[in-house]
Structure 1
Amino acid sequence: MDTLKNLSCITLISVMVWGCSPQDQDEYRVEIAAYDYAFQVPKELPSGWITFILNNEQAHEIHELSFARLPKDITYKEYLDEYVGAWEVLLEEFQADEVERSGISKRVNELLPDWADGVEYVNARGMVSPGRSAEKTVYLEPGLYAVDCWVKTEDGIIHISNGMTRPLTITNESANSPEPSVENIITLKEHEIDINWNAETGFHSFAVLMEADSLGNPVHNNVHLIKTGESTDLNEVNTWMDWYKVGGLRAPAPADFLGGVSTYDAIPGESASYFSVEIDGPGEYAWIVQVPEGEQLWNTFNIP
């Protein structure tokens, strides 16, 4: 069902929130407008399942929504100064060849504050190219969050550093919204993107499940839908999606990203991640999972 239809109660703040009446509230929806480089994010929202619409129609660069829950008693300013600041130093050193890829973990552990392990990344990526909008539905517990974009500028600066970050308080009040129920299921296996759906133009919603590796951890944590062209090199796209590459996640993107999801709290085979995309025309498309360089994990398809 097209969830953009039959919306009954609209409140306009810096975002749009649908679903004000408990008896007809099917989901709690928040639209976040992205700009180069800023978000329009409400100061607080209720807890529970919330569908975020990332509207990137006014931006000129690719953007994402990342949700990080901060440890108790840590302020948003401390998060920016001490946590994001550590990653900024690391990125600068790495891009200057002062730190090798193999030394990233050691160096960042030296830079990060002692409370860094308490930062909980709930959901990230779901990148959306300029001129597009996409959705993802996230369960947020009460607490203080940072809403960030970790994509980089053409010069290698994290969008956060240019102002694309906002604090968000999730209150104890419940959104009273149910977990999404969708028909299209994507199962990420070690060497396969298992999906059976009717590939056509229109609005499509997906639930993403991850299989477990030998240690019980998810084999992957991300999947994206892209529109490709004659010159699109999927190996190049996979390499670009690696944040830790010097040129990784730098604008401009090597493909047209329609949306997707990355998750860090999925329980393999049990919990699902949810996102929705709009396929607005015929062409060549691909589902792609970011994997180590030299590996490949994508499915291509055509919409006539």
Structure 2
Amino acid sequence: MKSIKTYLLVSKQISLSFLILIAFVGLQSCKSDKGREVDDPVQLQKDNVIQIVTENMDFQMPDTIPSGWNTFRYKNLSPQTHFFLVDKYPQGKTIKDVRTLVIPVFDSGMKLINEGKSEEGFAEFGKLPEWFSEVVFVGGSGLISPGNIGETMIKLDPGYYMVECYVKMNNGVFHSSMGMIRELIVSDKVSENTELTTDIRINISSTEGIVISDSIHRGLQTFAVFYKDQIVHENFVGHDINLVRLSGNADIEALDNWMNWADPKGLIDPAPEGVTFLGGVNDMPTGSTGYFTVTLEPGNYVLISEVPNPSSKNMLKTFTVSE
């Protein structure tokens, strides 16, 4: 019988290989697009903020950014809900390695699973290259609804990264398969940014869930999210923080169920009625801190994690901002 440690390592490899496969398919989809290419107008701004714009199934952003603390301002101009997640690859590994060393294994494994041969399918993933365990999710934004802007700060080391979104279209196809995947180079040049001054501190862990340490008030607020630990959950990804504004017809139970991408009805367009996603901080390693800044109007809100049944893990926290 496999040990728990071995199971988690295999699960992590499955998670990483799955997301990278989706990313690769998305990249190939982009390359096959015969439409007119548009020059990327997004540049690193004078205020040291990296602008990311999504108009359809794309990330318009610089190809190379400095290392150190970086603030990302993500503007979602598309009709779907999105996030961006940054994945750090081992030195020397590129999308070519994914195509030659990962795709055949993952294709055969998924084929077996789809045929109902789950045990054989998961065993197939044991053929994945060992370096996949070195790919690390290092943060990004939380979910952002159409027409909204999210601002997130994370610290990045020099290296080769990919930026992706794996929310699903209403037909179940991942956004990364539709083009929401791109390579990102983080250079040795260090940004001039420093950590933000914090208004609200949040700890998140698998044992305690979401713990809010400060009162939350209206106006411009900066949240610091500290990852006390990080584990692989049942849907093969780690926990994160997403801020949601609720309207009168919002259904908390529907939101709770929707946050699991592994459910056919989860993390899929459209988002549940009555919810507006305002950003947050995506999956990060143990001991990491990320920041997000948002203007809070009076009303009802939720902090929630993209894991199966977040309410059962104390990863769904409601709060009210007063007048």
* 1:4 paired residue number: none
Once residues 182 and 227 of structure 1 are traced to their aligned partners in structure 2, the CA distance between those partners, rounded to angstroms, is 21
Is 2:165 the partner of 1:146? no
Once residues 34 and 99 of structure 1 are traced to their aligned partners in structure 2, the CA distance between those partners, rounded to angstroms, is 38
* 1:62 paired residue number: 81
Counterpart residue identity of residue 131, structure 1: G
| Aligned residue-pair number | 272
CA displacement at 1:35 relative to structure 2: 2.3
* 1:5 paired residue number: none
CA displacement at 1:17 relative to structure 2: 2.6
In structure 2, do the counterparts of structure 1 residues 192 and 45 end up closer, same or farther at CA, with 3 Å as the change threshold? closer
Once residues 162 and 191 of structure 2 are traced to their aligned partners in structure 1, the CA distance between those partners, rounded to angstroms, is 19
CA displacement at 1:32 relative to structure 2: 0.3
| Counterpart among 278, 283, 286 of residue 266 in structure 1 | 286
Q: What is the root-mean-square deviation of aligned Cα atoms in Å?
A: 3.2
Counterpart residue identity of residue 283, structure 2: T
* 2:217 paired residue number: 199
- TM-score (normalizing by structure 2): 0.73
Once residues 175 and 165 of structure 1 are traced to their aligned partners in structure 2, the CA distance between those partners, rounded to angstroms, is 24
Q: Which runs of 5+ in 1 are unaligned?
A: 1-12, 20-24, 214-219
Once residues 277 and 138 of structure 2 are traced to their aligned partners in structure 1, the CA distance between those partners, rounded to angstroms, is 21
Identity rate of aligned residues, in percent?
A: 28
- TM-score (normalizing by structure 1): 0.77
* 2:294 paired residue number: 277
Counterpart residue identity of residue 55, structure 2: Y
Counterpart residue identity of residue 185, structure 1: R
Residues 225-248 of structure 1: CA deviation (Å, up to 9, x unaligned)? 111233323232222211222222
Larger strand share, 1 or 2: 1
SS at match of 2:312: coil
Alignment of 1:40-189 (within 5 A): 40-56=60-76, 58-79=77-98, 98=116, 106=123, 108-110=125-127, 112-124=128-140, 126-188=142-204
Contact 2:260/2:267 (<8 A) preserved: yes
Counterpart residue identity of residue 135, structure 1: E
Q: Which runs of 4+ in 1 moved over 6 A?
A: 84-94
CA displacement at 1:59 relative to structure 2: 0.6
SS at match of 1:32: strand
SS at match of 1:38: coil
Larger helix share, 1 or 2: 2
SS at match of 2:170: coil
Residues 130-165 of structure 1: CA deviation (Å, up to 9, x unaligned)? 010111111111111111111111111111111111
Alignment of 1:209-288 (within 5 A): 209-212=226-229, 221-254=239-272, 255-267=275-287, 271-279=288-296, 281-288=297-304
CA displacement at 1:168 relative to structure 2: 0.9
SS at match of 2:282: strand
Counterpart residue identity of residue 203, structure 1: L
In structure 2, do the counterparts of structure 1 residues 125 and 155 end up closer, same or farther at CA, with 3 Å as the change threshold? farther
In structure 2, do the counterparts of structure 1 residues 191 and 282 end up closer, same or farther at CA, with 3 Å as the change threshold? same
